[in-house]
Chains A and B, each alone.
Chain A
Amino acid sequence: MTTYVIGVDAGTPALQEADHLLAELVRGLGLPEGGAAATHLIRTGTPRVALSLTVSDPSRAAGLLPPGARSVVRDEASAQPDDGASQAALAHGMQGRVVVFPGVDRLTGTLTVGEVLERSAIDEVAVLLGDPPAPETRLHTRDHVRPEWRDGRLTLLTMPAGPGRLAPYEVPDPTPCCAAHH
């Protein structure tokens, strides 16, 4: 089956909203076997989060997008710096924060680092300011695992979460800055 990568720029300001939109698109378009869905930080112009995902039929994307959103197929992406959709499509597989990837559904509860690598497409588990973890090190997933492509290598950044235990660097429910902002 031929697959395509599309980039989407809906002007989404925050990661959590971007994750929701990405989930909707994945549900609506279906993710081809081995495909991935990711977020990309666009810092030119008004800061926003763009999306990229693998699809089998790019023509169906337009009907699922919110008003004002733009999508582009990677083969037609431009290198314009302010074109968030193109930036996302071009970065897919090389850079970006990956929300859906092979095996993500099996990364729940507490696993060992070795199990994380076996069960999913994650290539590497790294520890913030630390040495690489031993395969038997326990990793508390919090059911929220968002690795990133580092030059194409799917890497999960973790940090200590108590004695002998790691957790992903990204927490599922980060503290909003204050009620007045929301």
Chain B
Amino acid sequence: MGHGHHHHDHSHDEAVELPPVLDQSVPDEALTPDEVSRRGMLRGAGLLGAGVAAAGVLAAPGTARAAGPAARSNKGGYLWLAGDHHIHTRYSSDGMYRVIDHVRHANAYGLDWMVITDHGSLQHAKIGVEHVNPEIRAARAEIDDTLVFQGLEWNIPAAEHGTVFVHPGPNEVSVLKDFENTFDGVVTDTTASTSANEALAIAGVNFLAGAVTRRRVRDALFLANHPARKGIDSPHEIRGWRDAQPRIAVGMEGAPGHQAAGIPAPHGPGSGRGFYDNSPSAASFAGYPPESYRTFGGFDWMTATVGGLWDSLLAEGKAWWITANSDSHTVHADTAARGTANDFNTVGYYSDPTYGGDLALANGDFWPGYYSRTHVGASSFSYAAVMDAIRAGRVWVDHGGLISGLDVRARQSSGGQRGVTLGGVLQVRKGQKVELVIDIDLAGGPNWSQFQPTLARVDVIQGDVTGPAADRDTFTAPNTKVVKSFEVGRNSGSVRFTYDLGAVDRPVYLRLRGTDGTRNGTGARGASVDPNGPLIDVVGDADPWKDLWFYANPIWVLPH
């Protein structure tokens, strides 16, 4: 990339350093002519701003250092840490487990990091947010190779739920508690989809940024959960959160939890996969079509639709990342029962789970790490590095262990550079030939259903970067489509594919997905856009193990 990188150690008190061209605190006058030109290019493409800065664009691979157990995948210069940012305990009125129950399972199933996110509620704001903390700290002490964050499942005013979480520290509880008391939709009775409540949501995101700026907590992040489930996260609300604080509001669940919910009755809940079985309401965004209320191959419509809402943000140049989580409340076929010795409404949590004596087949969730994983490319095994990696978009997700490792690089076709990875921006001269190099470690072993899944196909999705959308409720990207598919048909070893972009004369972005090939068909925007996409999941008949996908976050290529 030819730009002088600062090989800084990610010591934890240090903010992520930005290349001068992206750091807006550096005036144009302080840049070299070449840098000024690049900054102008970035502005022109709508890409300059804290978001892309926050996205770790031009992150230097050399900053990674090996850390943590050897079992973790070190690929492409990063330590890839699997995690889950959406997990409920007995401090949620619809949960039941202790913190340690989740942490033990998550650790056994291979998760390196996890976020405890109980629902915002009157009881939680008063009691749960404090009482869960000693359980979390005890779990951190007992299981030292899974990082356990404390977070909150925020009832976003006027909208859906979202994960809010902070870096551990002496103020983790007080910041979360202040946030919940002031900005939670249920606690403050602001769930209705009104413009006043939409403004409160933005104020909440700003509050989190302030808590970091004033160093009450070292870091904070917000990601929207199950965004299309009820149609109440309108496109302008998503843009609003993101644009208010691009370093805080960084993404959304590409795949919701509750992936067992579509297992047919009587062996499963027989509901919609992800419990996505709603339909338009008075609170929903009128423009969303009926299919947006269902999952596609287990993924949320905003992410699964090629040329859909997610792509419309990426085509604007907005850094906005996807994740996949368990949303684990009650686990499918578990034998535990909710403890009933306490009254939740007065005590704020359920007593210890008891032995239930039967398989709970109506439960729709998996344990964290059992089925859904969010893999982040971290510079070290630390809380700060996980948060940095999420913010940078060095994130890919999989279901059912479809693949075990992924390194994606956009780079000049000649010259031997390593290129930039997920979440990054490749700067090239106009007309420069560019290639996308995809290295995949296949399953290589059994998943938690004890079979070794086969990756059938990988799709490269490409779109033009067209700058800011005039209509903040835009949810289509007309120029985005599947541009290349690679057949695989293997379940062990590794494969490399190279997609040749040719000479790049306009800003574009690329993203990847892969499938086990069991349920493919024409995407919602037609065969010319997506001929073999994920199919809409059948309510009451969606076996999650028979429809596996992985998705990767985007890389931008900007010629200038």
Q: Hey, which bits of chain A sit against chain B, CB under 8 A?
A: 13-15, 41-43, 45-49, 128-129, 157, 159-162, 167, 169-171, 174-175, 177-181
Contact = CB atoms under 8 A, between A and B. Distances in A.
Interface in B144-177: 155, 160-161
B229 A177 contact: yes
Interface of B: 92-94, 119-121, 124, 155, 160-161, 186, 191-194, 229-230, 261, 264, 271-272, 275, 277-284, 286, 290-291, 294, 524, 536, 538-541
A161 B279 CA distance: 16
Given A43-B286, A46-B192, A181-B186, A160 B538 contact: yes
B22 to A, nearest CB: 38
Helix, strand, loop or mixed for chain B's interface?
loop
Contacts of B278: 174-175
B281 A161 contact: no
B155 A47 contact: no
A138 B274 CA distance: 26
A179 B93 contact: yes
13 contacts: A13-B282, A46-B192, A47-B281, A157-B290, A161-B541, A171-B279, A171-B539, A175-B261, A177-B229, A179-B94, A180-B92, A180-B93, A180-B124
Contacts of B540: 161-162, 167
Nearest to B364: A175
B459 to A, nearest CB: 19
Nearest to B264: A162
Contact of A42 (B93, B161, B191, B282): B282
Given A49-B282, A159-B536, A180 B120 contact: yes
Contacts of A181: 155, 186, 191
Contacts of B124: 180
B175 to A, nearest CB: 21
A169 B119 contact: no
A170 B291 contact: no
A48 B538 CA distance: 29
Given A129-B291, A159-B539, A47 B193 contact: yes
A177 B291 CA distance: 18
B275 to A, nearest CB: 4
A175 B277 contact: yes
A82 to B, nearest CB: 13
Contact of B119 (A49, A162, A171, A180): A180
B278 to A, nearest CB: 5
In the A-B complex, list the 5 residue pairs whose CB atoms are closest, starting with the nearest: A47-B282, A179-B94, A180-B119, A179-B93, A175-B275
B279 A174 contact: yes
Contacts of A167: 539-540
B424 to A, nearest CB: 34
Nearest to B275: A175
Contacts of A174: 277-279
Nearest to A157: B290
Contacts of B94: 178-180
Nearest to A181: B186
Given A13-B282, A42-B282, A180-B124, 13 more contacts: A47-B192, A128-B290, A129-B291, A159-B294, A161-B540, A167-B539, A175-B278, A177-B161, A177-B230, A178-B92, A178-B94, A180-B121, A181-B191
A14 to B, nearest CB: 7
A104 to B, nearest CB: 18
Given A43-B282, A162-B541, A174-B279, A129 B155 contact: no
B155 A180 contact: yes
A128 B296 CA distance: 13
B289 to A, nearest CB: 9
Most buried by A among B94, B191, B286: B94
Most buried by B among A15, A129, A162: A129
A178 B161 contact: yes
B347 to A, nearest CB: 15
B111 to A, nearest CB: 23
Nearest to B153: A178
Contacts of A43: 282, 286
A129 B92 contact: no
Contacts of A160: 536, 538
A169 B290 contact: yes
Contacts of A48: 282
A175 B536 contact: no
A48 B193 CA distance: 10
B186 A180 contact: yes
A43 B121 CA distance: 26
Contacts of B121: 180
A179 to B, nearest CB: 4
Contacts of B539: 159, 161, 167, 171
B279 A169 contact: yes
A13 B193 CA distance: 11
Nearest to B279: A170
Given A47-B192, A161-B540, A162-B541, A178 B119 contact: yes
Contacts of B120: 180
Nearest to A44: B282
A13 B229 CA distance: 18
